[in-house]
Every structure is written in C-alpha cells, then in structure tokens.
Amino acid sequence: MTDSPGLLHPSGPGGMTGQCAVVTGGARGIGASTALELARSGASVVVCDVVDPTQTVAQIRAEGLSAHGHAVDVTDRSALAETFAGYPQIDVLVTCAAIYGETADIDDLDDTDVASVLDINVKGTLWTLQAALPHMREHGGRIVCVGSVAGKVGGVRAGPHYVASKGAVHALVKWAAKTQAQYGVLVNGVAPGVVDTPMIVGKGYTPDYCPLGRLAEPEEIARVVVFLASPAASYMTGTIVDVNGGAAMG
C-alpha cells in the first residue's frame, strides 16, 4: 500500500489546484454540487447564476475553499463577456444553467414557453461557450455541458421543447469538441437521468423510472462532471456520458 493521494484529490493526478473553474447555474441543484466538488478538487470556483449564488459561495468558503459568485443571465451575451473578463484564464467551464419549461404536452405549448426554454438551454449554452473560449484557447482546458437523458431517449416526462433543447446541447458538445481540440480544449457532456433537485419537484417522476430504482442525488452527477473536467480525463472529448441509473443504456 502507498499513501499516494486519490485520483481527484487536489494533489492527485486529477487534481485541479491552481485552476479556475466557472460553473453556470451554480446557485442550486447539480450546479451547486458541481461547484463544491470542483473546489474540493482544488479549483478556485466562479459560480454564476441568474439568481444570486451567495449561498453556494458561502458553502464552499465554509470549507476553507475558494469561490466567487456572480449574478449573470446566460441569455445575456454582454453580461457573460463582462463577467468572464474578470478571469483572464479559465481552465474549466461547466454549463449547467437550464430550465424545464411549463408544459409537457405538445398540444399545450405556447410560444413564450418554447422561446424561454430554447433561449436559456440552447442559446444560453452557446453564448456561454462563446464568452469563455477566448479565455481558454491559449492554454487549453476542459468544458463539460450538462445535457440530459431526455436528449438521448426522447424524454422521460419532459416536454418536446426541453427534450429538443437537450439534444441540441449534445450536438453542441460534439461541434465544440471537433473545433476546439486544436487549442487543447476538451469538451464533453453528461446526460443525467432524473436527479432530486428543485427542477423536477411536482413533475411526477417516480424512482421506478430506472433499474437502480431511485432518483440520483446531485453529487452523483457532480462527481462525473468533475472527473470529465479534471486532468484525469485527458483522452476524452466529444463524449456524452450517461449517468442515469440504467434508464437508458448504450
């Protein structure tokens, strides 16, 4: 037995000490969990959200770790650019911000709801990549986009606009992986199954939706995101990793 540090320990081979990691949608849910796990792996974390992410920042700082928070809407290109200008070197970007939409049935869709879901989930991801990449290309880095099992299998209960938005995120991952590899920027996605966060409250999901027979906890997604964001995932790009309790395989 050696006493070498674990894979993602700050001083281990996947550690992120000295790195700057930006997380959108970090005020709660999977984003908040991811921000905390990135900080535990050694990164200095920049938490962005349309609502004030003070609580996440305080939780990270309470562990003696580094975090900064910004209230920024991912649909606002200039606000994103302004925020990221404060961080000349971004090593890791996690795009987590998204909404679920109001309706699940195509017969009930309305323009405003569809526009909001596509604006935040698709254009918001696009604008976030656009704003962050100039801060990553010189030295390389990692991007992880949070997609969904919905984008792979046509949804569990979500509406068609949410399903389409997540399919688009998966496609964007592949576009970015192809075009940014030359800069040493590796881009992957995760496709979570149903996760116990405020997003799904009251939506009628039940634990039997997957073979593991339970919903995921946010940190079970966060740990996979952190692995993909870490130096340990050095030969992965363009992949969408399933984290869905076996709900969809292959």
Ligand X SMILES: NC(=O)c1ccc[n+]([C@@H]2O[C@H](COP(=O)([O-])OP(=O)(O)OC[C@H]3O[C@@H](n4cnc5c(N)ncnc54)[C@H](O)[C@@H]3O)[C@@H](O)[C@H]2O)c1
Sites of contact with ligand X (CB under 6 A):
24-25, 27-31, 49-51, 73-75, 96-99, 120, 124, 146, 148, 192, 194-195, 197-200
* Residues in contact with 86: Cβ distance below 8 Å, sequence separation at least 6, in sequence order: none
Considering the complex, state which of residue 42 and residue 156 has its C-beta at the smaller distance from ligand X: 156
Considering the complex, state which of residue 65 and residue 146 has its C-beta at the smaller distance from ligand X: 146
Min dist CB 13 to ligand X, Å, is 28
Min dist CB 214 to ligand X, Å, is 12
Min dist CB 17 to ligand X, Å, is 26
Closest CA to 28 of 63, 69, 64: 69
Say how many Å lie between the first and final Cα of the chain, rounded: 36
Report the 10 Å Cβ neighbour count for 29.
21
E strand or H helix that includes residue 170: helix 160-180
Report the 10 Å Cβ neighbour count for 249.
7
235 counts as catalytic: no
CB 218 within 8 A of CB 35: no
Q: How many CA atoms lie within 13 A of 140 on its CB side?
A: 10
Considering the complex, state which of residue 42 and residue 46 has its C-beta at the smaller distance from ligand X: 46
Considering the complex, state which of residue 29 and residue 159 has its C-beta at the smaller distance from ligand X: 29
Which of these is catalytic: 162, 183, 205, 209?
Answer: 162
Min dist CB 2 to ligand X, Å, is 37
Query: Active-site positions?
Result: 162
